[in-house]
């Protein structure tokens, strides 16, 4: 906090303050935090975006995208997509497509469709 006294008169004092959050970071990390506490972090390995109070996160890596929001999560890779939520799960890759919702499951594998 800086206090400025105009003409050495405390009645005309002005105050300026800055707020810094202490976070451990690598020297290569570039971190931008908005006044609304959203975070954007860039480095040589990834781009990371986080919402206020860490409710939602997105991480972009060279070979994968990860996402998390509340109790839902997922990732996308070149050969696979995997999404999971409270009531369901979706898995897609070169060998299987698997959909699960509540107590139902649909699987497509090797040209065959099975429903459980």
Higher pLDDT, 28 or 89: 89
Task: Give Cβ neighbours of residue 52 (< 8 Å, ≥ 6 apart).
Answer: 36, 37, 38
pLDDT at 76: 96
| pLDDT tens-digit map of 43-95 | 999 999 999 888 999 999 999 999 999 889 999 999 999 999 998 999 999 99
pLDDT at 54: 86
- 116 vs 114: CA distance, rounded Å: 7
pLDDT at 27 over 70: yes
pLDDT at 6 over 90: no
């Amino acid at each position: 906090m800086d206090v400025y006294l105009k003409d050495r008169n405390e009645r005309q004092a002005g105050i300026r303050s800055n707020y810094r959050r202490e976070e451990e970071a690598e020297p290569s990390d570039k971190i931008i935090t908005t006044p609304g506490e959203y975070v954007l972090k860039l480095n040589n390995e990834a781009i990371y975006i986080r919402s206020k109070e860490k409710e939602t996160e997105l991480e972009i890596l060279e070979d994968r995208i990860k996402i998390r929001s509340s109790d839902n999560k997922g990732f996308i890779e070149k050969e696979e997509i995997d999404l999971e939520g409270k009531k369901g799960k979706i898995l897609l890759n070169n060998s299987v497509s698997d959909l699960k919702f509540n107590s139902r499951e649909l699987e497509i594998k090797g040209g065959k469709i099975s429903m459980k």
